[in-house]
A and B are shown apart, each in its own frame.
Chain A
């Protein structure tokens, strides 16, 4: 009887792919949770200097970023070529740094507010005058822990 003919023995049973979506979803959720979106696009040139005696900035949620550098090509017409400060997504004056730090600090959870680090991402061609002003502002709001963010490398390459 045709209805009950057995399958040929040589045929491999098809591997079930029914659980494939589950596996993929698992991976998807992993990456969704570890992803941190880049929250600000750079408006300033930001070639960091090199240093060899560096320490890693371990926890991203404890870091406040300040960018300093010459405005990029498209902003040079409006903002000139002198180094400027960038906070979040816009250019800022020196006296806005303090309020920015306080606002960012207030956004963090209570237990982290005392262990925050300010990462200064400064272009290697900036002058120390601006940095000194920023440091003064940071001292005023008691944000004393700073990190001069650099690339890893030989520090003497900076001088060329």
Chain B
């Protein structure tokens, strides 16, 4: 009898099929979408060392009650008007030190954008969706002002510049250039949005 040759070759023709099967499984389970939302910083739990005295006129109080009604600076206000009111407060410029503001210079309102503080209070029974809408409008007020100044200085929107700066795929040379611009516009209207503890009644 003739000697057998080595082990018979395994047919690898179905390898591609198996690989395709796995490939399709991973294709289906992959999620590449990213979440988006409103970024906020919470205040640290330790109170600051020294008490800072803030004039009442530099604080823009927004109160949301449990029915979703707004009390802004002790007046009832509709949600649609909140953004305008916040913009008016932020760039009021009572002491005249802000050269780029277009506010009314009302002496009873904020001194300048770096001193203006927005204080947001809400009830425990306020609905989350109302709260997000108010937050959105207040962040929107800052973004509108920053966009206006960024358009004037650099000819593009602040929000676009910031998104490009934060995007990890942006080349670092572009990022370094954007960093100063973003910082400058941010410093023109620093975001001071305080979230006090909720009231219980």
Contact = CB atoms under 8 A, between A and B. Distances in A.
Interface stretch (A7-15, A103-111, A140-148): A140-148
A85 B193 CA distance: 26
Contacts of A25: 19
A55 B163 contact: yes
Interface in A38-54: 38, 49-54
Interface in A59-80: 59-60, 63
A124 B163 CA distance: 26
Contacts of B20: 24
A16 B16 CA distance: 13
B39 interface: yes
Interface in A108-160: 117, 119, 121-129, 131-132, 135-136, 138-140, 142-150, 152, 155-156, 158-159
B143 interface: yes
Given A24-B20, A129-B198, A124 B128 contact: yes
Among B16, B128, B197, find the residue whose CB has the most chain A CB atoms closer than 10 A.
Answer: B128
Contacts, number: 172
B153 interface: no
Interface string A16-51: 010011001101100110111110000000000111
A57 interface: yes
Contact of B38 (A21, A34, A54, A126): A54
Nearest to A55: B39
A42 B27 CA distance: 22
Nearest to A141: B45
B140 interface: yes
A54 B129 contact: no
A139 B137 CA distance: 24
Nearest to B140: A53
Nearest to A124: B129
B23 interface: yes
A58 interface: yes
Top 10 closest A-B pairs, CB basis?
A: A129-B124, A158-B129, A31-B26, A124-B129, A149-B37, A155-B136, A24-B19, A128-B126, A132-B198, A49-B129
Interface of B: 12, 15-16, 19-20, 22-23, 26-27, 29-32, 34-45, 68, 79-80, 122-133, 135-137, 139-140, 143, 159, 162-163, 166-168, 195, 197-198
